[in-house]
Amino acid sequence: MKFEVFDIDLSTEKEKKQENNIQIQSSNNKTNQKFINFDDLNISNQTKIAIKEMGFQAMTDIQRESIPLILSGSDLIGAAKTGSGKTLAFLIPIIEILLKSNLSQKKMGGIVLAPTRELAYQIHQVAEFLFKYHNFKCCLIIGGFSRQKQTEILEKGTNLIIGTPGRLLDHLQQTKGFNYQELKILVFDEADRMLEIGFSETISKILKILPKKRQTILFSATLSPSIKDLIRLSFQSQPIYINVDQNSEISTVKELQQGFIQCFEEERFLILFMLLHSFRKNHKVIVYFSTIKSVKFHKELLSELNMVVYTLYGKQKQEERQNTFENFCKTNSGILLSTNVAARGLDIPDVDWVIQYDPPNSLEVFFFEKKTKQNAKIISIELVEQQEQGKSGNAILFLLSHELKFLEYLQNFGVPLSEYEFSEEKIPQIQTLIESKIEKNEILFRLAKKAYLAFIHAYSSHSLKDVFDFSKLDFLAISKSFGLLNPPKILNIGN
């Protein structure tokens, strides 16, 4: 196990003048070497019983390194990816901190913030199980559910809040009976993900409201510039940084079956359909698109072609999102269509194939500002998680001929992809059928046009313009991949 020290100046200009700099230090904790199983931890018997009933015995690396430090009262920054066991790594100490604080059921002592409703829901489920033999109350505070009911719960009092930044800030500002002055510990889970989807300002407002005297824990896959800014705001004392994935992530990536498919614009959907038709009965597949409109269109088109699919994207009704998520987790085989951001970071078990159909929205999906190989990311986080659990996983990236330079970027960051090859004869000759269905179905036709235009706009705004070069797109060929005979007129693309 190797710990890394990052030279990060956490001070503001004012603090520099005051020579009061906060620095991140690496962990030199030796006591964690004796902690192998959960029974080795100095935690309550009630918590140990709940952990056993959940089926856990041995701790993961992140649990072994972080739990003793958090229990000791240290502020902590942990580098950990999905599937590493970080949920228990912060929930177990939270329970013990609540016990030690002797808080009544009406006093709130802990807050856990997650980037998405689904992840918050997952964390809440685990917390409810861990609370089984304790008299603590846990409250889920996310959008999509009755705000009034949440207000009533907060006014009556709860010990632990698990939620998303937007709804938490709403209650901090508007719910008069919400008592948060006894806060002992604040946890950010997948902090980089929160900032990526636009919660930076919301989190800043939350931090200004919450008590400064508290313990703060932050889990993030990277220490990007935006994360460093969040660290400056969040920590009042010197945090300890641990990175248990430093050596393991490269080998994990290399063990995966990962590759790319080079295709012509007009063949994109035909090849996707070929893959999904082959996988649909015995495999669990996630397909990532760049826009919500593309997810909606492809769901309707695949349904027209007698293929049952799930969809997950922003702006869905919460009940629909939750049902989709739970049903796809439970199924042994199925196809989930999702936007690039909607399913990232969710713990979805037993995924066999992840297909990146559209270009990823950001290079942060693949590698980050530190530019070290251990921070290179393969196409989907879910596959890395499965490999850790001894399960096979496969990833496919769709690339057009002018996008092949993207492979050089991945190669430079330790993520080589091999090409998946197949006979052209295997590509289903259904283009005419698709065009006919879309032409005759007004709803499908409108969805196709909207999806096409959304794809073009997303492509034109891509950050890596030397790879995803808008000027090199063949609009007629691209429109055919959406089943359109002629490309709709494009407006407001700019230069």
Please give the pLDDT value at position 490: 73
The dihedral formed by the CA atoms of 472, 477, 480 and 481, expressed in degrees to the nearest 10: -50
CATH superfamily placement of domain 13-246:
P-loop containing nucleotide triphosphate hydrolases (3.40.50.300)
Q: Where in the chain is CATH 3.40.50.300?
A: 13-246, 249-425
CA distance 353 to 421: 16
Closest Cα to residue 290, out of 459, 88, 173, 410?
459
User: E strands within 251-316?
Assistant: 257-262, 284-289, 310-312
Vertex 23 angle, CA 17 and 25, to 5°: 165
In order along its 495 residues, the chain shows pLDDT tens digits of 332 333 333 333 443 333 334 455 555 554 455 678 999 999 999 999 999 998 888 998 899 999 999 999 999 999 876 667 889 999 999 999 999 988 877 889 999 999 888 889 889 989 999 999 999 999 999 987 889 999 999 999 999 999 999 999 999 999 999 999 999 999 999 998 888 888 999 999 999 999 999 999 999 887 777 788 888 889 888 889 988 755 433 333 334 467 889 999 999 999 999 999 988 888 899 999 999 999 999 999 999 999 999 999 888 888 888 889 889 988 889 999 998 766 665 667 788 888 999 987 654 444 332 233 333 233 333 333 333 333 446 888 999 999 998 888 776 656 677 888 777 778 889 999 999 999 999 999 999 999 999 999 999 988 888 889 999 999 999 999 999 998 888 765 554
Q: Are 192 and 221 contacting, i.e. CB atoms less than 8 angstroms apart?
A: yes
Beta bridge partners of residue 419, listed in sequence order: 260
Look up the pTM and report it: 0.59
Closest Cα to residue 135, out of 116, 107, 174?
107
Please give the pLDDT value at position 134: 93
- Sign of the torsion formed by the C-alpha atoms of 375, 381, 387 and 390: positive
Name every residue whose Cβ is closer than 8 Å to that of residue 190 and which is 6 or more positions away in sequence.
Answer: 82, 114, 115, 119, 219, 220, 221, 345
Tokens matching residue 202: 């919301």
CA distance 195 to 190: 9
Give the number of other Cβ atoms within 10 Å of residue 4's Cβ: 16
CATH number of 249-425: 3.40.50.300
Q: Which residues of 228-257 are buried (b: 16+ CB within 10 A; e: fewer)?
A: eebbeebbeeebbbbbbbbebbbebbeebe
Name every residue whose Cβ is closer than 8 Å to that of residue 354 and which is 6 or more positions away in sequence.
Answer: 285, 286, 288, 379, 380, 382, 383, 393, 394, 395, 396
Helix (H, G, I), strand (E, B) or coil at 484: coil
Please give the pLDDT value at position 343: 61
The secondary structure element, H or E, covering residue 46 is: helix 45-53
Q: Are 161 and 182 contacting, i.e. CB atoms less than 8 angstroms apart?
A: no
